[in-house]
């Protein structure tokens, strides 16, 4: 899944507090002066100081904090040096402990699922999931990867002495041929920002329909998308109102467009003003490809008097076929992942009183032109004591 | 300077936003405007240059017929064989152009002595499947040739079947119009193509063959860093509404190209990136200080801002008391933004003010053209400008640099003895250790050994420079000056250079242990020296020792690490210099930086030699880096 970061630098880069920097995953905190955190892509941003900050048990021990009060500087490597950022993405994802450890635990702690089974790893990348499966006793693992990483994965499999168990196949799922007619398990890490951005879900579904035994297992098999609302005055100022005053000059003509871009960023749980509403649950083992487009209504009830500046979307992923239910959440109340959350800023600031509800609906669909982009429409209204608003807003993840 | 890519995209958004604002006017009004507009642009002829020879054609079909019959290159046939989609076809054209530029046969890879030889060598392709693999490189998404109108005009092909290129754009436009009109509509369906909207927009596009033109120029924006030729006639004071609508169509079409880059290169498109450029405080503050804190220099001065982008430097100059600011911006979109911003801030100088008709408070005039073409747009007396300001620096100082444009402007318009800001530029070099690489990470990934990837990363980095932040703790040698430019006096042909430098192992550890130097870091400083900035000289540094900037540093990786140690290290007699047994105490460098044949890019050549503490010397094979 070498695409996630490369094509989403926009979102990543707008996170002005923390970000990943190329392959080296330098942690460069522009705002948080003096605190050096390294080798964790978990964003303990200034907003999330109270988050669990358990350190990653690998990676660079050196502290490479580059002090700066300069704004967030996306390294140009991401724009120009493809092969380089290519590795960088994998490093970033591997260093996402929530993600990788969950998969590792799912596999190592549920060996009964894997023993003597044939596994298909869709979008294998470095092959890490295949390696886990092989260690867990799979009879054979087919690791399919269409990018140049396939060659790396092959080499890695060899280096780790697992060539007899893992076969790396280079090519698109839709085009390759498997040496076997059916597989017992399909494993994949296909989730993108906002769950569906840049998504590989359809590829997984294609593989499922083509190769999975009727009683086969898809891992993960459940994904849910949630919506909540937050107070975010400070960041909205930083990111949107910025244009009103640039070194004393008015550049507000650029502002409106900024609103259209959902921001991938870490949200502190204390900012949450309302409940979370489950928008959509997808059963990966049963759903049809079209089910990824949907309209879902929501009702967000304020839990305190506050202002609301943005909606926040996040997702959970679960592996229900495990001995015990396993999975992870990318929500603001959970430990941060490289998916962070997706922030959708509102045109107006809503003044909401405890118990009042924002009702509305969200429509999500892949962009017609570029299916890897996601179009989002949110209709919402609030008729509260202090604020009456009804609006439709459009966003585009790109 | 490196900002321009982003800024261009910025403007896209801006103009789209303007569309939205405009949507109080009905959609019909829109369409009419478009129709009016096409009148004067209808008769523009597209010139399509043959992929192999110098023939030009007015249509793609004619061109491809020619290629098929004369050069055995069947574009549509190959696309069909390989099942190339729009992007694939786009790459195919760039691939072939790049091969032809090297006199190489696109199909069998044979290298010919000359273009003539190549033309007579060309043959029907035997196995086009092989070509598909070669195409599989995102670099071919970069237009190889400037203003390659072919790229934006070839038939949309298989994927779009009944729709050709125009409809490819059309669909996007419709989609966009859909969203533009959304505000009054409540349902999702409205964003979908509905028949009516479609037809209207179709009309718009049909009646606006300029869609192609705009596309061509927009691609330029991306590839040439904003060198949008546009029509100079589109002067900024024309009716703003008309202007807006023009921009819009071009803009919408431009999105297709942008998409290519979005999907493959990572997005240039975020407003956030642009915000980050401006809020690169190190950069902006240096200019701000130079302009605002040198009153005697700025007061009443005529200032020229080359490549003004959002116009932030011009705004500073105006604020500092300049009597006139000529802001030159090649990208039409960016020029529009800069104009709007100057107006919004009451600093716009209306051109009609000379007749005394309009009130004029500001001093800034934005000229949308390349510096080289400035004379065509505006009359400026030669040698009449007091201060030339520009933020022209690119990665590694010279990548995508506008330096030659700045020098052009200097030689033509700057008064003798006039100020150039900044007036010095210096490139530095130092060696970095293992911590500057990602090797340690790959050695143990969840218990698995993935060092193969680390190896691969290094191999890659030995050919392509990496732009990234290096921590100064990871430097293992001193820093040395590689090259200095005096912008007030240098000649335009001195931009390309060869220089030498000598690095010594850092002497800061007591035990004098050997440490591996994995490669070199390059960075630059530009000076606003006391020569012109008498009251407040300033330096803008992109060094690893100073707060980071959006330029980061540029990293050149050795093919193999060179072991270095201070001269106090006692080496074993016979071992090769640069090994752990006999580390080098000095590294001698000879580095050339020159503009590559492919525009925008620079080639860096690096010759390295190590000198042991006993004086023995060892040279490594030269390395070539291409910053593309």
Q: Which chain B residue has the Cα nearest residue A23?
A: B438
Which contiguous run of DSSP H or E holds residue B250?
helix B240-265
Which contiguous run of DSSP H or E holds residue B504?
strand B497-504
pTM for the structure as a whole: 0.61
Tell me how close the Cα of A129 comes to any Cα of chain B, in angstroms. 11
- Which tens digit of pLDDT belongs to each residue from A363-377? 999 888 888 889 999
3-state SS of chain B: helix, strand, coil percent to 5? 40, 20, 35
Residue-level pLDDT at B247 = 33
Average pLDDT of chain A to the nearest whole number: 80
- How far apart CA A136 and CA B173 sit, in angstroms, is 52
Percent of chain A with pLDDT over 90: 62
Whether the per-residue pLDDT at B49 is higher than 50: the answer is: yes
Q: What is the mean pLDDT of residues B561-569?
A: 85
- Which tens digit of pLDDT belongs to each residue from A181-219? 999 999 999 999 999 987 689 999 999 999 999 999 999
CATH 3.40.50.150 in chain B, residue ranges: 271-391
Q: What is the mean pLDDT of residues A225-243?
A: 89
Q: Is B19 helix (H, G, I), strand (E, B) or coil?
A: helix
- Whether residues B280 and A370 touch (CB distance < 8 A) is answered with no
CATH 2.70.160.11 in chain B, residue ranges: 424-627
Which residue, among B401, B390, B398, B402, has the nearest Cα to B554 in the 3D structure?
A: B398
- Identify the CATH class of A222-397: mainly beta
Question: A154 touching B, CB under 8 A?
Answer: no
Q: Which range among A250-264, B310-324, B397-411, B503-517 shows the weakest confidence by mean pLDDT? A: B503-517
Residue-level pLDDT at B187 = 34
Q: Is B529 helix (H, G, I), strand (E, B) or coil?
A: coil
Longest Cα pair distance anywhere in chain A, in angstroms? Answer: 68
Of the candidates B186, B337, B452, which has its C-beta nearest A152's C-beta? B452
3-state SS of chain A: helix, strand, coil percent to 5? 25, 30, 40
Q: Which chain B residue has the Cα nearest residue A254?
A: B14
Tokens representing B465 are: 């420079």
- The segment with the largest mean pLDDT, out of B218-222, B315-319, B592-596, is B315-319
- Which tens digit of pLDDT belongs to each residue from A83-94? 444 677 788 888
For A342, phi then psi, to 5°, come to -110, 120
Percent of chain A with pLDDT over 70: 78
Whether the per-residue pLDDT at B355 is higher than 70: the answer is: no
| Chain A CB contacts of B345 below 8 Å | 249-250
Kindly report the number of other CB atoms within 10 A of residue B497's CB atom: 17
CA A33 distance to own-chain centroid: 27
Q: In which band, very low, low, confident or very high, does the pLDDT at B274 lie, cut at 50, 70 and 90?
A: low
Question: B194 touching A, CB under 8 A?
Answer: no
- B158, burial (CB in 10 Å: exposed 0-12, middle 13-18, buried 19+): middle
- How far apart CA B497 and CA A355 sit, in angstroms, is 70
Instruction: Report the alpha-carbon angle A315-A321-A327, nearest 5.
Output: 30
Q: Which chain B residue has the Cα nearest residue A68?
A: B547
A198 carries an active-site annotation: yes
Q: Which range among A162-176, A300-314, B101-115 shows the weakest confidence by mean pLDDT? A: B101-115
Whether the per-residue pLDDT at A345 is higher than 80: the answer is: yes
- How far apart CA B254 and CA B246 sit, in angstroms, is 12
Which residue did the predictor score with more confidence, A340 or A40?
A340
Which residue, among B440, B407, B395, has the nearest Cα to B600 in the 3D structure?
A: B395
Q: Which of B10, B37, B400, B525 is catalytic?
A: B400
Which residue, among A211, A235, A209, A208, has the nearest Cα to A219 in the 3D structure?
A: A208
B207 torsion bin: left (phi>0), alpha (psi -120 to 50), beta (else): alpha
Which residue did the predictor score with more confidence, B11 or B124?
B124
Q: Considering the domain B271-391 in this protein, what is its CATH number? A: 3.40.50.150
* ipTM exceeds 0.95, yes or no: no
H-state helical runs in chain A: 9-13, 77-80, 82-94, 97-108, 111-114, 128-135, 149-159, 201-211, 233-239, 255-259
Question: A199 touching B, CB under 8 A?
Answer: no
| Chain A CB contacts of B473 below 8 Å | 62, 64
- B428, burial (CB in 10 Å: exposed 0-12, middle 13-18, buried 19+): buried
Correct CATH for A77-189 of 3.40.50.150, 3.40.1280.10, 3.30.565.10, 3.40.50.2300: 3.40.50.150
Of the candidates A70, A100, A253, which has its C-beta nearest B280's C-beta? A70
Q: What is the residue extent of each domain of chain A?
A: 77-189, 222-397
Residue-level pLDDT at A72 = 34
- The segment with the largest mean pLDDT, out of A318-332, B258-272, B497-511, is A318-332
CB A255 within 8 A of CB A243: yes
- How far apart CA B94 and CA B141 sit, in angstroms, is 7
* End-to-end Cα, chain A, rounded Å: 16
Q: What is the mean pLDDT of residues A57-75?
A: 33
- How far apart CA B130 and CA A128 sit, in angstroms, is 30
- How far apart CA B576 and CA B610 sit, in angstroms, is 10
Question: A252 touching B, CB under 8 A?
Answer: yes
Whether the per-residue pLDDT at B193 is higher than 90: the answer is: no
A189 carries an active-site annotation: yes
The alpha-carbon radius of gyration of chain B (Å, integer) is 27
**Size of the A and B interface in Cβ pairs below 8 Å:** 275
Which residue did the predictor score with more confidence, A60 or B128?
B128
Fold of the CATH domain B424-627? 2.70.160
Of the candidates A77, A159, A256, which has its C-beta nearest B468's C-beta? A77
Q: What is the mean pLDDT of residues A314-336?
A: 95
């Amino acid at each position: 899944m070498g695409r996630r970061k490369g094509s989403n630098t926009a979102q990543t880069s707008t996170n002005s507090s923390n970000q990943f920097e190329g392959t080296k995953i330098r942690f460069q905190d522009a705002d948080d002066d003096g605190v050096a955190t390294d080798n964790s892509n978990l964003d303990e941003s200034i907003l999330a100081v109270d988050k669990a900050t358990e350190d990653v048990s690998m990676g660079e021990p050196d502290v490479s904090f580059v002090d700066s009060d300069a704004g967030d500087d996306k390294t140009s490597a991401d724009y120009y040096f493809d092969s380089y950022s290519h590795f960088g993405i994998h490093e970033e994802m591997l260093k996402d402990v929530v993600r990788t450890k969950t998969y590792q635990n799912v596999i190592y702690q549920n060996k009964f699922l894997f023993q003597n089974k044939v596994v298909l790893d869709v979008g294998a990348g470095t092959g890490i999931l295949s390696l886990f499966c092989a260690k867990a006793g799979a009879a054979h693992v087919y690791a399919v990867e269409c990018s140049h990483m396939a060659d790396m994965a092959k080499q890695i499999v060899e280096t780790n002495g697992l060539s007899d168990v893992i076969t790396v196949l280079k090519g698109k799922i839709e085009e390759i041929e498997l040496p076997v007619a059916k597989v017992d398990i399909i494993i994949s890490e296909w989730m993108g920002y906002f769950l569906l951005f840049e998504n590989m879900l359809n590829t997984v579904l294609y593989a499922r329909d083509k190769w999975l035994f009727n009683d086969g297992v898809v891992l993960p098999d459940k994904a849910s998308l949630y919506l909540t609302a937050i107070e975010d005055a400070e960041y909205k100022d930083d990111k949107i109102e910025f244009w009103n005053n640039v070194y004393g000059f008015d550049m507000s003509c650029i502002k409106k467009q900024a609103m259209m871009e959902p921001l991938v960023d870490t949200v502190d749980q204390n900012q949450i003003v309302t409940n979370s509403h489950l928008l959509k649950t997808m059963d990966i083992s049963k759903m049809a490809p079209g089910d990824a487009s949907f309209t879902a209504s929501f009702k967000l009830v304020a839990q305190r008097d506050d202002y609301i500046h943005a909606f926040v979307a996040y997702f959970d992923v679960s592996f229900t076929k495990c001995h015990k239910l396993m999975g992870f959440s990318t929500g603001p109340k959970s430990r941060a992942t490289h998916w962070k959350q997706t922030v959708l800023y509102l045109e107006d600031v809503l003044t909401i009183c405890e118990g009042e509800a924002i009702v509305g609906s969200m429509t999500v669909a892949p962009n017609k032109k570029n299916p890897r982009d996601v179009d989002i429409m949110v209709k919402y209204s609030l008729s509260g004591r202090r604020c009456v608003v009804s609006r439709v807003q459009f966003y585009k993840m790109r | 300077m490196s900002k321009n890519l982003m800024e261009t995209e910025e403007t896209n958004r801006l103009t789209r936003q303007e569309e939205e604002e405009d949507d109080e006017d009905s959609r019909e009004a829109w369409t009419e405007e478009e129709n009016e507009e096409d009148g004067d642009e209808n008769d523009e002829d597209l010139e399509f240059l043959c992929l192999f020879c110098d023939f030009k054609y007015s249509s793609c079909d004619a061109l491809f017929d020619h290629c098929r019959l004369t050069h055995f290159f069947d574009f549509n046939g190959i696309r069909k064989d390989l099942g190339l989609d729009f992007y694939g076809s786009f790459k195919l054209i760039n691939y072939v152009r790049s091969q032809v530029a090297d006199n190489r046969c696109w199909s069998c890879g044979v290298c010919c002595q000359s273009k003539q030889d190549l033309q007579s060598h060309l043959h029907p392709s035997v196995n086009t499947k092989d070509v598909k693999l070669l195409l599989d490189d995102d670099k071919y998404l970069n237009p190889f040739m400037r203003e390659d109108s072919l790229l934006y005009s070839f038939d949309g092909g298989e994927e779009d079947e009944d729709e050709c290129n125009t409809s490819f754009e059309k669909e996007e436009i419709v989609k966009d119009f859909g969203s533009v009109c959304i505000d009054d509509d409540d349902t999702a369906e409205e964003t979908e193509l509905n028949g009516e909207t479609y037809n209207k927009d179709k009309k718009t596009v049909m009646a606006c063959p300029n869609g192609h033109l705009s596309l061509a120029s927009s691609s330029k924006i991306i590839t040439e860093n904003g060198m949008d030729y546009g029509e100079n006639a589109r002067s900024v004071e024309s009716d703003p509404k008309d202007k807006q609508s023009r921009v819009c169509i071009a803009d919408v079409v431009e999105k297709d190209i942008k998409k290519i880059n979005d999907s493959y290169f990572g997005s240039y498109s975020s407003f956030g990136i642009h915000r980050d450029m401006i809020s690169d405080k190190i950069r902006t503050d240096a200019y701000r200080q130079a302009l605002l804190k040198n009153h005697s220099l700025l007061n009443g001065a005529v200032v020229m801002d080359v490549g003004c982008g959002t116009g932030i430097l011009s705004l500073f100059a105006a604020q500092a008391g300049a009597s006139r600011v000529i802001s030159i911006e090649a990208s039409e979109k960016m020029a529009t933004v800069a104009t709007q911003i100057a107006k919004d801030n009451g600093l716009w100088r209306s051109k009609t003010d000379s007749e005394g008709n309009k009130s004029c408070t500001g001093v800034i005039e934005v000229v949308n053209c390349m510096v080289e073409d400035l004379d065509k747009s505006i009359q400026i007396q030669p040698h009449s400008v007091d201060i030339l300001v520009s933020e022209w620096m690119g990665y590694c100082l010279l990548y995508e640099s506008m330096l030659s444009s700045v020098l052009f402007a200097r030689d033509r318009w700057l008064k003798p003895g006039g100020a150039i800001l900044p007036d010095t530029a210096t490139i530095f070099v130092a060696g970095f250790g293992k911590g500057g690489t990602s090797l340690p990470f790959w050695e143990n990934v969840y218990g698995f050994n993935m060092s193969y990837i680390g190896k691969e990363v290094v191999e890659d980095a030995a050919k392509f420079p990496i732009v990234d932040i290096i921590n100064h703790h990871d430097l293992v040698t001193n820093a040395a000056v590689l090259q200095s430019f005096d912008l007030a006096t240098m000649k335009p042909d001195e931009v390309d250079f060869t220089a030498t430098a000598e690095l010594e192992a850092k002497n800061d550890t007591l035990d004098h242990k050997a440490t591996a130097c994995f490669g070199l870091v390059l960075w630059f400083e530009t000076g606003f020296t006391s020569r012109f900035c008498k009251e407040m000289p300033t330096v803008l540094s992109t060094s690893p020792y100073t707060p980071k900037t959006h330029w980061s540093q540029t990293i050149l990786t050795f093919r193999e690490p060179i072991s270095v140690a201070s001269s106090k290290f006692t080496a074993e007699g016979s071992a090769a210099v640069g090994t752990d047994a006999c580390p080098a105490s000095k590294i001698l460098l000879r580095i050339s930086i020159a503009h590559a044949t492919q525009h925008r890019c620079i080639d860096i050549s690096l010759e390295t030699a190590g000198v042991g503490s006993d004086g023995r010397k060892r040279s490594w094979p030269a390395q070539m880096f291409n910053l593309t």
